[in-house]
A and B are shown apart, each in its own frame.
Chain A
Amino acid sequence: MYRKRLKNVYELLESGNNKKVIQEVDKLVSSAANLNLGNKKKISPNEVGLAGYDEQTTLIIAKALKALALVRVGRKSDSDKLIDELLDTNTTDENVLSIIMQYCKETHQLSKIVLFYENAVSKFESDKSIQQTKQQEYEEILNSLFNAYIRNRDFKKQQQLALKLYKQTGKLMYNYWNAASYVLMSQFETKPEQKTLYLKLAEKLLEKAYVDQKMEYNGEFQLYLHILELLGKYSHAQQVINDFQQDLHLPKIGHPNFKFNKQILYFKNLKDLKNLKQFCENYFNEHKSANLDDWTIYLEYFEAIISMLKDETSQDSRLNLINEVFEFLKGLEKVKCVDLNENENIKLTGPCLAQIELFNQLILKHSFIELNESFLNRLKLLFLSYINMCSGKPGFYYEITKFNDLIRLSKLGDYILENLKILNDKCWPFTSVKSIYTCLSYWQMKRFLGKQENLSCQELVNLAGQLEEYYSSGLVFGKDLLPTAFQFVDEFLIMAIHIRYDVIMKYPETKNNESLLNLIAKLKLGLAKSPSNFQLKLLLLNLYTQLGAYDSIKKMYDSMEIKNIQYYSTSNLILFNNMRLGSFETSSNIYSNMSNFFTAGLFDLTSFMVNCYKYGTFLKSFELNSFLNELKKSLSLHICLTNNTIIQNFVLDQVKLKESESTELDLTSEMTDLSFKIDEFYKDLTQLSDVLSENGLIDSVNEKLLTDHSDTNVLYDWSPLNIREKTRQNRSALINEQIKLLKLRLYLIKYVHLFTKNDLEKIQSVKDELVNFEFSSNQSQEPDLEVFNTYSNYLNRFKLLGLDKVLRLFVNLTCDLSKNEKFLEKELLDGENSKLKQYKLDLVETFQSIESNLKIQIEQSNEKSAFKIENVNHLLECLSSIIEILSSLIIVLIACLINSFYRPIWNEKCKKSKKKKGPYLKYTQSIDCLYEMYEYMNEFLNKVLGNIDQVKVMLNLVEDSVSKVNENFSNNKTQIDMSDVVQSYKKSFDELRKIYSAKSKFLNRFSSK
């Protein structure tokens, strides 16, 4: 009788009609209850539930489905309750368990899956008869429990269970699972002797399988060899790999070079240099193009040679060996590759670059030879040969710069440039795509070797013009390209932008309000010709960042369709910018997408560790485990989840509240709700983070673990090394600032959390952190063109404005008040000199100073003569920092008022007291103080709001600059639209205005005035 209904429930769930699922299951459960109460009618088992299911299991399935529906409509506490009820049923049914597993995965409660399967196993084991009759089911349940342990990375239990499975079934597969579990245990272990012990246990388990010749799959060999390598048992490993039957084992899993690569590795570690050398030479002598261009094997080869040279006693024998190797490599240059057709004109660069690398190692790395005339000449010839072979191909720059140190030592930079110039001169005017690349190679190397550093302002401007000319002339070669391809000459434009930016930075007197806008305009024109070129988009994004035009930043980011795993390596482009530029509500969506990815992504990883056991790719499970540990340190992940909490729950909550007529009762429930949300935030972050301490904060020790995974290599950069070092320093300063901001936000969340929960016993540590927080950053940042170096002065802004003082005063005040009677009693005694009074005075004074500071800034910027476009960015940072701090303080203030920590003294007796003294007086005094704070804040907000309205004049001045730029470029055939910069600013100010206004309305609602 339930079958039809249950089928219906499944369909409803699948179609996303969760509310209906809940209703249907409720109906089903109540009809079952009625049946059990009175109806004695016997129903045949076939009719009761799903085919093959009894009534009880059918009901459990229904309830599990209901739990899924509940969580999908946001009723997580109800669904958790229901799932916990099901735990007591000790169900062993795989159908039920798989629904529950789905539930636990969706709610990220991986540990709960373990409980269900452990219960199921216990039930099986308590009844020996079932265990025997349902042997297969029992094994499946044990398998599922094993997977649940993997998902939780409980390697110890996983190992014990694998052993149990092996003993019970005798299947060799479980033996490998057992060994792999030991390896994972050793990965987690910090004590060296314990680590070794685990590995030895794993080795012992596999040794038998190897001796008995039971290893079938490459994965099993890989695991065994990996363990032997970790134990340093290379000799035995070599024996194993020699026994490896390529034909028999490789088809199952494995790369054709598997055996060869292992042999090389073991020769190296066993110092069998002769064989190592011979094997490498044989590899090259196979005359396959891939082998001859395989850099990895050249490096192995040289390692053998270097070690042999170290063993040689006489200089002559060393030179002989060196000559022999050079001769061998030279011989490879002329080799005809067996896998290339005669008509394929592919010249392999491997042998040539390998000789340069050998010089690099002999001269620079190991000082075996000195750079004498003869060697220098040979080196020159090699570079020349390489230039002739490759300078007309893309990628030349990324190979030759590998030898930067050698080029500098041998002073061959000029020689390389001279030869490139000869080719370059023949290429201009461009006759082919090859000529474009040749020319590009020359200019890339010129920049890399620092030849543009000492140019005068005019020379730089001329150079940029020349590169722009190359750009324009070469566009014709890409006229038939699809819009998805890059123009061949785009890199000339990018370099010209870099040079024009150098001018602005080196000669600030040349900078005006249109400087950066002009660069943006040039890039926009470039993008019109090459609409898919993300390098142009990234540069644009950087320039928008410097201007503080958030909406344009976001549009660029969105246009690159960044998603999924890319969030780890690129999300900082957004995360470092939105809050400082006043984008709270408009960035909600992107935060939501990123948070979903970050939270789900890490859970996916452990699920795929399960796959590794299934497919025998054990080494990948170790890799995934390390990868997971790495991602748990992700700065982006921490910033994303933390900022999201601040934005959603602190900054925007009053924006939402204003829409309904809130009463004090609503506020109380809002506070409870907020406290619950922060609990959930901590739950998520604790599961996803290896950095967070028990109390949800990041201390200075863990701070060092936070890792920025930004893919800083993505952007084209041909700067010399000294400039790169500067870029690196800028980045390090930026990251330090971001870590500090993250810590500040985490302290604020904790501070708010303790007040909303009225849990003030733990307040002291957060109070100390907030009161002593160092707002200024120790390292200074300079804006540069590296796209991941967002130039931000946000943290400094807090201090410059005096927000640090506001925060300190407020935290001290609220914490003092939380000391209850003791503090208030002393206050009464102190009378005129009371601390409360001082707090009030100081706060009023600080608010006034912030407001007047802001007013002056705006007034100055509104004057045409004093206007600087960067002031808009500064102002946005100021307004954002104020609202960020104030949002937290408002919540704490409300929490104080409604949750009153002094409420214990507000008793019945006190209420009835006619004289209004004693405890009542203390109460009224503190509540008066809080209300006064409330009023000050309200007044301050209103004043700032008034100031925001004054920015219109400033925005008109931005429009003037934009118009000038538009005019400059009006001759171009392609029209450009620069209005997005003004629109971005307008959007940010509008959003800030909306938030300030909502906060003010919210405060007004409960204001006494």
Chain B
Amino acid sequence: MSITREFTCFDLLKINNVNLDILTENFGLPFYLQYLTKWPEMFLVNESITGRFKGYIMAKVEGNKENWHGHVTCLSVAPEFRRQGVSRLLMNEFEKVSEIKNSWFCDLFVRVSNKIAYDMYTKFGYTVYRRVLDYYTGEHDEDAFDMRKAMSRDVAKKSVIPLPHPVTADELD
């Protein structure tokens, strides 16, 4: 049981039980504001009935023609609420909005080392479309899997046919 609703600016003051997690990125204020003002219906928070944040998803729609798609920028669940389907719920909501917006597919990036996330997205129906070399930069650069799931508009499921070769970050559309 939980509450899923659009994220508001005021929620930015209450996200620490999610954001203090080491793998959750703390973006600059403009980044959050861009999503809040441009795609408010794709920035969703899930909270417990006692008001504690369980997790949130920050996503957008972008691209041209057959590349028009929903993209997950950030999905994070607080440690004390993991393993109870919060990600599934938020991903479902995201996909619903992406469908309404006539997306061909939905996609997301995941670290190749993040097996838990990879398995989870596989369970949600996402497959690896391509590997992106050195997508994550930092102390140790790391490749990303660009994972995709076709939406109902892509009847032939063309958007998810995997690329045979990895690409570099510069080659991303």
Contact = CB atoms under 8 A, between A and B. Distances in A.
Contact of A566 (B19, B51, B80, B102): B19
Interface string B27-38: 111101110111
Interface stretch (B85-93, B127-135, B143-151, B157-165): B85-93
A296 B9 contact: no
B152 interface: no
Contacts of A254: 41, 100
A605 B30 CA distance: 8
16 contacts: A255-B97, A289-B89, A346-B85, A354-B1, A394-B80, A394-B82, A394-B84, A398-B48, A533-B79, A597-B29, A608-B34, A611-B37, A617-B38, A620-B36, A621-B37, A713-B14
B22 A711 contact: no
Contact of B26 (A353, A564, A604): A564
Most buried by A among B26, B27, B40, B80: B40
Nearest to B22: A532
B50 interface: yes
A568 interface: yes
B13 interface: yes
B3 A711 contact: no
A486 interface: yes
Contact of A620 (B29, B37, B51, B83): B37
Contact of A612 (B26, B32, B37, B89): B37
Interface in B45-85: 48-52, 54, 79-85
B122 interface: no
B36 A398 contact: no
B37 A601 contact: no
Contacts of B30: 604, 607-608
A623 B9 contact: yes
A296 B46 CA distance: 11
Contacts of B79: 485-486, 533, 535
B20 interface: yes
A255 B41 contact: yes
Nearest to A625: B9
Contacts of A566: 16, 19, 26
Interface string A431-468: 00100000000000000000000000000000000000
A290 interface: yes
A713 B23 CA distance: 20
A607 B89 CA distance: 33
Contacts of A339: 92
A535 to B, nearest CB: 8
A774 to B, nearest CB: 31
A619 B40 CA distance: 10
A570 interface: yes
Nearest to A538: B20
A35 interface: no
Interface of B: 1-6, 8-10, 12-17, 19-23, 26-30, 32-34, 36-38, 40-41, 48-52, 54, 79-85, 89, 92-93, 96-97, 100-102, 116
Given A254-B100, A399-B50, A713-B14, A605 B85 contact: no
Contacts of A564: 26-29
B1 A290 contact: no
A256 interface: yes
Contact of A353 (B3, B49, B96): B49
B96 A256 contact: yes
Contact of A295 (B1, B33, B89): B1
A299 to B, nearest CB: 9
Contacts of A348: 1
Contacts of B20: 534, 560, 562, 714
B116 to A, nearest CB: 8
A251 B101 contact: yes
Interface residues of A, number: 68
Given A254-B100, A565-B32, A601-B29, A295 B3 contact: yes
Contact of B83 (A253, A394, A402): A394
Contacts of A295: 1-3, 49
A138 interface: no
Given A395-B80, A486-B79, A713-B51, 15 more contacts: A293-B89, A295-B1, A349-B1, A394-B83, A398-B81, A532-B22, A532-B23, A564-B27, A564-B28, A565-B29, A569-B13, A597-B29, A604-B33, A623-B10, A624-B37
B21 A296 contact: no
Nearest to B38: A615
Most buried by A among B6, B10, B37: B37
Contact of A484 (B5, B15, B23): B23
Given A353-B49, A399-B50, A561-B22, A605 B97 contact: no
A290 B92 contact: yes
A620 B40 contact: yes
Interface in A915-952: none
Interface string A285-309: 0000110011110000000000000
B22 A568 contact: no
Contact of A255 (B1, B6, B22): B6
A296 B26 contact: no
A608 B37 contact: yes
Contact of B33 (A256, A608, A619, A714): A608
A630 interface: yes
B28 A402 contact: no
B89 A565 contact: no
A563 interface: yes
A217 interface: no
A290 B94 CA distance: 12
B26 to A, nearest CB: 5
Interface string A702-714: 0000000101011
A694 to B, nearest CB: 29
Given A569-B13, A569-B14, A605-B33, A398 B96 contact: no
A956 interface: no
| A-B pairs with lowest CB-CB distance, top 9 | A627-B9, A534-B20, A608-B33, A532-B22, A255-B41, A611-B37, A714-B16, A398-B48, A711-B16
B92 A253 contact: no
A597 B27 CA distance: 12
A569 B17 CA distance: 11
Interface string A621-634: 10110010010000
Nearest to B83: A394
B63 to A, nearest CB: 15
A716 interface: yes
Interface string A352-379: 0110000000000000000000000000
A290 B41 CA distance: 16
B50 A401 contact: yes
A350 interface: yes
A256 B17 contact: no
Given A401-B50, A630-B10, A569 B81 contact: no
A711 B52 contact: no
Contacts of B100: 250-251, 254, 256
Interface in A292-345: 293-296, 339
Contacts of B10: 623, 627, 630
Given A608-B30, A608-B34, A617-B38, A402 B16 contact: no
A350 B40 contact: no
A569 B9 CA distance: 13
B40 A617 contact: yes
A398 B80 contact: yes
Contacts of A658: none
B29 A611 contact: no
A398 B78 CA distance: 13
A604 B36 CA distance: 13
Contacts of A608: 30, 33-34, 36-37
Contacts of A619: 40
A350 B29 CA distance: 35
A563 B97 contact: no
